[in-house]
């Protein structure tokens, strides 16, 4: 036991400490930490885990649910550090036992595999990513003849979105349609037929989609016997970023910890930004009253992350929100530097500005890793990426298009998936059509014959006889695991390369990706873990063909705001802070969506510790958002920074007319927005 006062607790403020010590190491009454950005919620959670371990709790019996795999790894590292400071060398080995840290989806996949036989699931199930799911939905749509009603019937992606929403929000189909897809109301009956066939197809194919990982998990723990089984595995369940969970997720928690004992949730309602995935801020707001006696609530009001001017500006933005629970934060980190609102001509000069500033920062001693560029939508960073490559600034991009989306990488993964689960029709379709001469018809013939595990017994597709035996041998070898993991990756690559060369002119570049995939694979313990985790949380795209940089290399972070959640950097640049981008155009309609966009800006601003730039190009390029197609739009500063709160920012214009070799510092001056003056003349 820890007799003497431990200094890791001394660093915490009173509220944080109360949260950490709540229950004194036992599975105590439910606890909610609800507080604003940068107030140390995640840090407190890490301390709580370490404290519980120090007080004798078993880390193997803790379930730690985070928003990304990265966040889980980060949490594990923090706990390790703290535990080591408490328990010495013993501490760092202890936290290795923290095996159940991950996203809801990843943990769900593991639990479902372990309990598969209890719930009629084949444990070799494979997981469909969104694209695979859309493909299967499409297949079913065709089979039912709905695709022929082309003009009237929703697209495969809309179908999937509706389906996903119904599942995650646990709402009636009609209600969801009425609220979010009123133009599909006519098709309600057909959609119901489609969804039921889609579910049947997934069962036939032995696949689960993302939503299933939560749905099956919640249904599994709704069974009292199994629930007791699973609940008994965990003394403590701790959840970060609880404001972004949906109904299914809260029902899972409640089933695991019906009386809330041992349950800790942490979040900030002002940062709820995932309602488009059916997350509901009600989860965190209603948490305390679910239990009797109600959960203990800890609020924190001191921000340790940002300087006073940055925090004031962020507070000003969020104070215009229509509702919120968490209060304004304070900090004692003084600074004379207000956040800058930078007006630039267009996205090209925006890229130029950001790259220039980033290099200046680096010259002043700030590494690239301490800086980040954030944006609303993945494609907003396009012009900047070009500029960064041109200037040789390495970067890693989170959110949006992934390495895994490349056709050849998907091909390789599909081979592994089909070997693991020959009933996975979407994977099978992809794999079989890699063979020369095999089209959809031929592939379907083979797949229709799949009903045993014996690949060799399958009929050769019509025009593929020559390549067929080698293919079957390769898949059989995978199925019997003749080459131990990850060695089998090489065997698959060797089989695939000739096909790659035949199909793609730029095969050399693509071959490099496959080698990279092999390296990534080597860091996973098994094929199944590799496939599952890669599908759920794919690695990020990098500026460098050599692949993800190693830990000690320096690189800039580019990220969507959504993916930047929970993180912090010394210097943050937010691109396209204009109406039409932030808020996104699509959101300009509904009030709720607009409020969510405001919170998004708040999340972006509160990532910054010392320096914050919001950039407004006067012209930007839209990508197919308009009936007129792609075009340049003249933009206005985001409506979330109205004149009334402008005093929190320093307004600058960049660049000044490229006159007489003026220094860069001199190129920053106060802008005059004549547009408002012109409008004012007629008001
Ligand atoms: P977000 O809402 O963005 O997820 P958060 O509330 O989870 O933020 P943390 O990321 O845990 O905040 O902490 C923000 C920063 O403040 C971190 O750099 C952390 O180390 C620091 N910090 C937290 N608590 C303290 C403390 N008591 N003393 C000093 N620094 C602290
Ligand atoms: Mg956090």
**pLDDT per position as a tens digit, 408-447:** 889 999 999 999 999 999 999 999 999 988 888 889 888 9
Give the residue-averaged pLDDT of 595-611. Answer: 96
| Token code pair at residue 381 | 């960073």
Give the residue-averaged pLDDT of 462-469. Answer: 82
Q: Quick one: angle between helices 527-536 and 507-521, nearest 10?
A: 110
pLDDT score of 667: 45
Q: Looking at the predicted structure, is the pLDDT value of residue 536 above 90?
A: no
* C-alpha to C-alpha distance for 492 and 471, rounded to whole angstroms: 10
Tell me which of 11, 269, 273, 305 to substitute to probe ligand 1's pocket, judged by most ligand atoms within 8 Å of the beta carbon: 305
* Cβ of 38 less than 6 Å from ligand 1: yes
Q: Considering only 63-72, 392-401, 542-551, which range has the smallest mean pLDDT?
A: 542-551
Q: Considering only 528-537, 637-646, 669-678, which range has the smallest mean pLDDT?
A: 669-678
Residue nearest to atom 25 of ligand 1 (CA): 40
Considering Cα of 615, then 616, then 618, then 619, what sign does the dihedral take? positive
Nearest ligand (C-alpha, residue 271): 1
Percent residues over pLDDT 90 in the chain: 58
Nearest to 608 by CA among 568, 645, 562: 568
Q: Considering only 220-224, 441-445, 496-500, 675-679, which range has the smallest mean pLDDT?
A: 675-679
pLDDT score of 604: 98
**Strand ranges of the sheet holding 395-398, from the earlier edge strand across to the other edge:** 541-542, 395-398, 556-560, 371-375, 569-574, 608-617, 340-344, 650-653
pLDDT score of 325: 85
Closest approach atom of ligand 1 to CA 11: 27
Give the residue-averaged pLDDT of 581-608. Answer: 88
Q: Looking at the predicted structure, is the pLDDT value of residue 662 above 50?
A: no
* Cβ of 41 less than 6 Å from ligand 1: yes
Q: Looking at the predicted structure, is the pLDDT value of residue 626 above 60?
A: no
pLDDT score of 115: 94
pLDDT score of 666: 43
Mapped onto helix, strand or coil, the DSSP state of residue 568 is coil
Q: How far is the CA of 240 from the centre of ligand 1 (A)?
A: 13
Residue nearest to atom 27 of ligand 1 (CA): 12
Q: Looking at the predicted structure, is the pLDDT value of residue 2 above 60?
A: no
Closest approach atom of ligand 1 to CA 607: 3
Nearest to 491 by CA among 459, 451, 457, 521: 521
> Per-residue pLDDT tens for 114-142?
999 999 999 999 999 888 999 999 999 98
pLDDT score of 613: 98
Q: Considering only 34-48, 439-453, 635-649, which range has the smallest mean pLDDT?
A: 439-453
pLDDT score of 550: 60
Q: Considering only 153-167, 172-186, 500-514, which range has the smallest mean pLDDT?
A: 500-514
Give the residue-averaged pLDDT of 169-194. Answer: 91
Residue nearest to atom 15 of ligand 1 (CA): 305
Give the residue-averaged pLDDT of 647-667. Answer: 67
Q: Looking at the predicted structure, is the pLDDT value of residue 397 above 90?
A: no
30-42 burial by CB neighbour count: b if 16+ within 10 A, else e? Answer: bbbbbbbbbbbbb
Residue nearest to atom 21 of ligand 1 (CA): 304
* C-alpha to C-alpha distance for 193 and 145, rounded to whole angstroms: 11
Binding residues are 35-42
List of residues 6+ apart from 338 with CB closer than 8 A: 309, 313, 648, 649, 650
> Per-residue pLDDT tens for 222-243?
999 999 999 999 999 999 999 9
Tell me which of 303, 304, 310, 605 to substitute to probe ligand 1's pocket, judged by most ligand atoms within 8 Å of the beta carbon: 304
Nearest ligand (C-alpha, residue 12): 1
Nearest ligand (C-alpha, residue 44): 1
Closest approach atom of ligand 1 to CA 12: 27
Q: Quick one: angle between helices 507-521 and 407-420, nearest 10?
A: 50
* Cβ of 37 less than 6 Å from ligand 1: yes
* C-alpha to C-alpha distance for 46 and 55, rounded to whole angstroms: 14
Nearest ligand (C-alpha, residue 14): 1
Tell me which of 43, 67, 74, 77 to substitute to probe ligand 1's pocket, judged by most ligand atoms within 8 Å of the beta carbon: 43
Give the residue-averaged pLDDT of 452-472. Answer: 82
Residue nearest to atom 20 of ligand 1 (CA): 43
Q: How far is the CA of 40 from the centre of ligand 1 (A)?
A: 3
Q: Looking at the predicted structure, is the pLDDT value of residue 670 above 70?
A: no
pLDDT-derived band at 680, boundaries 50, 70, 90: low
Residue nearest to atom 2 of ligand 1 (CA): 37
pLDDT-derived band at 683, boundaries 50, 70, 90: low
Q: How far is the CA of 375 from the centre of ligand 1 (A)?
A: 23
Residue nearest to atom 26 of ligand 1 (CA): 12
Q: Which residue has the tokens 């082309």?
A: 150
Q: Looking at the predicted structure, is the pLDDT value of residue 546 above 60?
A: no
Q: How far is the CA of 393 from the centre of ligand 2 (A)?
A: 28
Binding residues for ATP are 35-42
> Per-residue pLDDT tens for 6-30?
578 888 999 999 999 998 877 789 9
64-78 burial by CB neighbour count: b if 16+ within 10 A, else e? Answer: bbbbbbbbbebbbeb
pLDDT score of 521: 87
Q: Looking at the predicted structure, is the pLDDT value of residue 71 above 60?
A: yes
* Cβ of 13 less than 6 Å from ligand 1: yes
Give the residue-averaged pLDDT of 450-457. Answer: 77
> Per-residue pLDDT tens for 339-369?
999 999 999 999 999 999 999 999 999 999 9
Q: Are strands 619-622 and 631-634 parallel, antiparallel or unpaired?
A: antiparallel
Question: ω before 363 within 30° of 0 (cis)?
Answer: no
pLDDT score of 661: 45
On average, the pLDDT of the chain sits at 87
Pairwise pLDDT comparison (516 vs 477), residue with the higher score: 477
Pairwise pLDDT comparison (87 vs 432), residue with the higher score: 432
Nearest ligand (C-alpha, residue 39): 1
> Per-residue pLDDT tens for 309-332?
999 999 999 999 988 888 889 999
* Cβ of 605 less than 6 Å from ligand 1: no
Tell me which of 19, 35, 40 to substitute to probe ligand 1's pocket, judged by most ligand atoms within 8 Å of the beta carbon: 40
Q: How far is the CA of 435 from the centre of ligand 1 (A)?
A: 53
* Cβ of 298 less than 6 Å from ligand 1: no
> Per-residue pLDDT tens for 478-493?
988 877 888 899 999 9
pLDDT score of 482: 73
Give the residue-averaged pLDDT of 539-550. Answer: 59
Q: How far is the CA of 268 from the centre of ligand 1 (A)?
A: 13
* Cβ of 613 less than 6 Å from ligand 1: no
Give the residue-averaged pLDDT of 276-300. Answer: 92
Residues measured by CB to lie within 5 Å of ligand 2, the ion? 41-42, 566
Q: How far is the CA of 42 from the centre of ligand 1 (A)?
A: 7
Q: Looking at the predicted structure, is the pLDDT value of residue 517 above 90?
A: no
Give the residue-averaged pLDDT of 168-176. Answer: 92
Q: Looking at the predicted structure, is the pLDDT value of residue 5 above 60?
A: no
Give the residue-averaged pLDDT of 53-82. Answer: 90
SS3 letters for 460-511? CCHHHCCCHHHHHHHHHHHHCCCCCCCHHHHHHHHHHHHHHHHHCCCHHHHH
Pairwise pLDDT comparison (683 vs 437), residue with the higher score: 437
């Amino acid at each position: 036991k820890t007799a003497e006062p431990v200094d890791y607790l001394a660093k915490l403020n009173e509220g944080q400490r109360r949260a950490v010590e709540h229950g004194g190491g036992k599975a105590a009454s439910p606890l909610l930490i609800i507080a604003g950005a940068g107030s140390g919620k995640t840090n407190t959670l890490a301390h709580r885990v370490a404290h519980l371990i120090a007080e004798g709790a078993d880390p193997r019996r803790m379930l730690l649910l985070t928003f990304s795999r990265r966040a889980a790894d980060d949490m594990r590292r923090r706990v390790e550090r703290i535990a080591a400071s408490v328990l010495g060398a013993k501490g760092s080995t202890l936290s290795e036992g923290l095996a159940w840290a991950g996203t809801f989806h990843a943990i769900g996949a593991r639990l479902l595999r372990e309990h598969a036989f209890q719930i009629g699931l084949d444990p070799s199930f494979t997981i469909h990513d969104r694209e695979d799911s859309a493909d299967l939905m499409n297949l079913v749509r065709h089979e039912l003849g709905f695709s022929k009603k082309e003009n009237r019937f929703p697209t495969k992606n809309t179908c999937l979105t509706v389906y996903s929403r119904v599942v995650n929000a646990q709402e009636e189909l009609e209600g969801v349609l009425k609220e979010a897809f009123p133009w599909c109301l006519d098709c309600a009956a057909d959609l119901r037929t489609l969804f039921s066939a889609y579910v049947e197809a997934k069962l036939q194919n032995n696949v689960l989609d993302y939503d299933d990982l939560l749905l099956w998990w919640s249904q599994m723990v709704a069974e009292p016997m199994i629930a007791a089984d699973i609940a008994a595995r965990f003394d403590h369940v701790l959840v970060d970023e609880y404001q972004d969970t949906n109904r299914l997720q809260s029902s899972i928690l409640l089933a695991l910890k019906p009386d809330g004992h041992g349950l800790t949730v942490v979040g900030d309602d002002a940062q709820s930004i995932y309602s488009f995935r059916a997350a509901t801020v009600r989860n965190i707001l209603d948490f305390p009253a679910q239990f009797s006696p109600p959960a203990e609530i800890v609020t924190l009001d001191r921000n340790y992350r940002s300087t006073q001017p940055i925090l004031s500006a962020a507070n000003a933005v969020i104070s215009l929100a229509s509702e919120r629970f968490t209060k304004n934060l304070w900090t004692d980190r003084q600074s004379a530097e207000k956040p800058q609102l930078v007006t630039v001509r267009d996205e090209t000069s925006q890229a130029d500005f950001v790259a220039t500033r980033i290099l200046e920062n680096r010259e002043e001693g700030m590494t690239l890793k301490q800086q980040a560029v954030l944006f609303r939508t993945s494609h907003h960073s396009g012009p900047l990426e070009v500029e960064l490559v041109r200037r040789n600034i390495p970067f890693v991009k989170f959110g949006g298009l992934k390495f895994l989306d490349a056709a050849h990488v998907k091909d390789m993964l599909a081979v592994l998936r089909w070997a693991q689960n020959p009933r996975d029709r979407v994977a099978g379709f992809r794999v079989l059509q890699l063979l020369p001469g095999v089209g959809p018809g031929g592939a379907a013939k083979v797949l229709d014959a799949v009903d045993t595990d014996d690949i060799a017994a399958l009929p050769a597709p019509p025009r593929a006889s020559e390549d067929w035996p080698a293919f079957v041998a390769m898949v059989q070898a995978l199925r019997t695991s003749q080459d131990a993991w990850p060695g089998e990756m090489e065997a698959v690559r060797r089989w695939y390369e000739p096909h790659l060369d035949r199909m793609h002119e730029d095969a050399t570049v693509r071959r490099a990706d496959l080698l990279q995939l092999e390296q990534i694979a080597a860091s996973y313990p098994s094929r199944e873990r590799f496939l599952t985790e890669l599908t759920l949380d794919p690695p990020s795209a990098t500026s460098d063909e050599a692949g993800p940089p190693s830990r000690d290399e320096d690189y800039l972070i580019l990220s969507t705001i959504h993916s930047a959640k929970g993180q912090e950097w010394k210097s943050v640049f937010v691109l396209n802070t204009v109406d039409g981008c932030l808020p996104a155009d699509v959101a300009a309609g509904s009030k709720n969506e607009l409020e969510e966009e405001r919170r998004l800006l708040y999340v972006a601003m509160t990532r910054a510790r010392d320096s914050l730039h919001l950039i407004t190009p006067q012209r930007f390029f839209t990508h197919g958002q308009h009936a007129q197609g792609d075009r340049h739009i003249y933009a206005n500063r985001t409506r979330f920074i109205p004149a009334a709160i402008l005093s929190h920012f320093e307004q600058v214009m960049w660049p000044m007319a490229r006159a007489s070799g003026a220094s860069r510092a001199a190129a920053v001056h106060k802008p005059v927005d004549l547009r408002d003056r012109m409008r004012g003349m007629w008001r």
